[in-house]
Amino acid sequence: MSFRERWQAWRYNRIPSHLIGEILTKRWTDNAIPFLALVVTLAIFGSAISGFFKPAALQASSRQLGEFSLVVTGVTVVMLGGGIDLSVGAIFGLACFSAVFVFFIMEQSIWLALAASLATGLVFGAVNGYLVGYLKLRAFLTTLVTLIFGRALFDILVTAYAAQVQLSDAESPILDYIGDGTFLGLAISVWLAVVFAVVTHIALTRSRPGWHVLAVGGSRRSAHNAGIRVGSTVFFTYVFSGLCSALGGFLIACRLSGAGPGTGQNLEIMALTAAVVGGVSLGGGRGSVVKGIMGAIIVLVMTNGLIRLGYGTGTTQMVLGLMLAAAVTIDIRWLKNRHKVLNEVYVAPVYLKMGEAQSAEPDSGTPYELDNRLSAAEHIGLGELEGPEDVILDRDDHLYCGTRHGEIVRFFAPDYKRSEVFAHVGGFPLGLAFDRDGNLISCVGAMGLYSISPERKVTKLSAETARSLTSVVDDARLRDPNDCDIAPDGRIYFTDSTKRYDAHDWTLDSIENRPTGRLLVYDPKDGSTRTLLDGYRYTNGVCMAHDGKSLFFAESWACRVHRYWLEGPKAGTAECVIKDMPGYPDNINRASDGGYWMAWLGMRTPSFDLSLRHPGMRKRMTRRLPQDDWLFPNINTGGVVKFDESGRILDTLGDLSGEAHPMVTSMREHKGYLFVGGILNNRIGRFRIAGADENWTSPASYWGGAK
């Protein structure tokens, strides 16, 4: 091995560069930038202002923060729903005035003042919501007008009643407590803001109305077409925002015991800046309450900090402007380029030197030599089928296969001319197996392990396994369940080919070649799923041995077949029984003579084998070339291989014409015939096996004669 290869093997197999891509797939990376900004802001102002973190100073600013956070929470919800609420400042002011009016002038109880505040917010929010939600006016313009209207009203009222408020001698211990008191060391407004934030967060992430808000914000039209009532959802976001602002206004009324002309002025711009700085996207659908609160803290610390540092008039606006511009630009550029960055870094190929393979060329004299026998297969369902990855026959000789459209299609014996959709599962049904009771078990690509009863009832058996402790991507979810077989005790052994790619991206997995394939077992007794083996290069076909004491499974990108022992001295361990094949193995099934059939989905090529020793080249290839120009495993030729219990190759069948069965992903022997399927094929082949037992069927031989 040359030094270059050693270096490549070390660089690409030891340095976990695939983690960068996996981290970038996480939604929480969106929060990283605002969180970093928050930390930096706190650090700068904390060190620049002496006593910044003193409890007394924090207490004073935290009251303001509580009020402001409430407003920002409301604005965040509106923005998540795809709107914008500029009227928060006006609602804030008016709600403050309502409380002051009821309490100081009408001299009513503080609770009535609170009710008046909330009613103000409710009315304004409902007006906004009605105009924007039901009349579908433009949010920006509409709330701009209600802002002007509310501000004008507020200015009139404050001018008219300011003197009376000054003269009033109404007092209330509750008001003083809300305005100046603390509960468990924190100001009341902070408690309220926290409660509101938590409740809103839970509502948004875990309740139907909250999901509706996010759906409407994410895609209004899709939400409408999905039957969500867009109008009322939008309506309620504005009502909520109105209530939040009103509560903030009530709190400031308690704190200041009055309403001044400046109450709530420019609040809309501050709240908007806070939401955006926190990372809530304009246009809706992306963001969270936590982000809004982070933004609120940043904005408030900045503005208050600058005032306390004694910078002149205008500095606040200057910094707010810079902050808003920077935050929005970063947010937009990040949103826009995140998937590009992800595409660039996600594929992280590893180094692999494949073993020398025996030739599969015709007339080469090896057991692998391909011939043209499969081209003589009769076809079933030609042109009707798309992607019969696996085929299986039941005790009544009917033929089943999965299709690209998420259906299980049944062809009726004896001539297999008629067909029906047996069941619609969704996903892409891949591996199939019948259990003792005649239930059809299927590995459904991108979904999980499913069972279809003879009465066509579809049941999900498993979609997840235990999460491994060190994984970054969610490896509990089954991403590419591929093939399954059932042990005599009813346990279902199945493979999940890769943790890093979805089922349809299997080509990327082949290029990356990272060993992340697993062998899993589902136990029908308690419904649990366990991971038995991990770290194989695309685990594929699974087949129980004839005696039921071990199973064979294929490792596609390494061109190997392993045997996993269920019983006996080697129980729980796997050993490699066939290695360095010239083809990529797929499904494995039992044969009538005690051997096993194995499909080859494609053939190794010297060029791709060489590229596996050049991971850097493959990385550049996926980055710089369009997908059509990528080098990946040759799947234009495949075949069917027969091997015996010891792993010795007995026979190899192929279709050199490339017309009927260029790529084979499965085959099933039944009453002297071999039924052949291919995931990219448009037919099932039926091939007469010379000298095979004409009464042998897989269900009968494995599960016994009777049902």
Partner 1 sequence: MRGIGWASLNQERIVLGLAVLLFAAAAVGLPGFLAPDNLIAIVRSVSVLGILAFGMAIVIIGRGIDLSMVAIMAMSVAWYLQLLNGGMSDGPAFLLVLAGVVGIGVLNGVLVAYADVPAIFVTLASGSFVFGYVRSQLITQDAVALPQGHWIELFGGVRYLDIPVEVFVFAALAVLTFLFLRFTKWGRYVYYAGDNPMAARNIGMPVRPMQVLRYVLSALIAFIAGLLTAASLHSINTRIVNSNLLYDIVLVAVIGGIGLSGGRGGVRNVLVGAALIGILLNAMTIIDIPTLYQNLIKAAILLSAIVIDGILNPRDEQTAQQGDI
Q: Which residues bind partner 1 (CB under 8 A)?
A: 82-84, 131, 135-142, 144-149, 151-153, 155-156, 159, 219-221, 224, 230, 265-266, 269, 272, 276, 282-284, 311-325, 328-329, 332-333, 336
Q: Minimum Å distance from CB 91 to partner 1?
A: 14
Q: How many other C-beta atoms lie within 10 A of the C-beta of residue 39?
A: 12
Nearest distance from C-beta of residue 347 to partner 1, angstroms: 26
The CB-of-327 to partner 1 minimum distance in angstroms stands at: 9
Distance of alpha carbon 24 from alpha carbon 340, whole angstroms:
11
* Adjacent-strand bridge partners of 351: none
Of 265 and 605, the one with the shorter C-beta distance to partner 1 is: 265
Q: Where are the alpha helices (DSSP H) in 52-183?
A: 55-80, 88-100, 110-129, 139-167, 173-180
Q: How far is CA 413 from the centre of its chain?
A: 42
Nearest distance in Å: CB 301, partner 1: 17
Answer yes or no: are the C-beta atoms of 17 and 348 closer than 8 Å: yes
Pick 123 or 532: Cβ nearer partner 1: 123
Is 542:522 a contact under the CB 8 Å cutoff? no
Q: What is the secondary structure of 276-342 as a DSSP string?
A: HHHTPPTTSS---HHHHHHHHHHHHHHHHHHHHTTPPTTHHHHHHHHHHHHHHHHHHHHHHHHHHHH
CB of 82 or CB of 585, closer to partner 1: 82
Min. distance of Cβ 49 from partner 1 in angstroms? 18
Least distance (Å) between residue 126 CB and partner 1 = 14
Q: 184-219 burial by CB neighbour count: b if 16+ within 10 A, else e? A: eebbbbbebbeebbeebbebbeeeeebbbbbbbbbe
Range list of H helices, 207-266: 208-218, 220-225, 230-256
Q: At what angle do helices 315-346 and 289-308 cross, to 10 degrees?
A: 140
> Based on CB atoms, which residue is closest to partner 1, 154 or 557?
154
Nearer to partner 1, 148 or 199 (CB): 148
- Choice between 156 and 610, CB closer to partner 1: 156
Kindly tell me which of 271 and 519 has the beta carbon lying closer to partner 1: 271
Q: How far apart are CA 545 and CA 565, in angstroms?
A: 10
The residue among 268 and 485 lying less far from partner 1, judged by its C-beta, is 268
- Token pair, residue 21, equals 């891509």
**Separation in Å, CA 72 to CA 75, 322, 340, 391, 623:** 5, 19, 31, 57, 41
Residue 41 CB, nearest approach to partner 1 (Å): 17
Q: Cβ closer to partner 1: 318 or 576?
A: 318
Taking the CA atoms of residue 283, residue 284, residue 288 and residue 291 in that order, the dihedral angle to the nearest 10 degrees is 0
The CB-of-636 to partner 1 minimum distance in angstroms stands at: 37
Structure tokens at 159: 């001018």
Q: Say which residue the tokens 């500029």 belong to.
A: 86
Q: Measured between alpha carbons, how far is 128 from 148 in angstroms, rounded to an integer?
A: 13
CB of 42 or CB of 328, closer to partner 1 = 328
CB of residue 654 to partner 1, shortest distance in Å: 48
Q: What are phi and psi of 589, to 5 degrees?
A: -145, 160
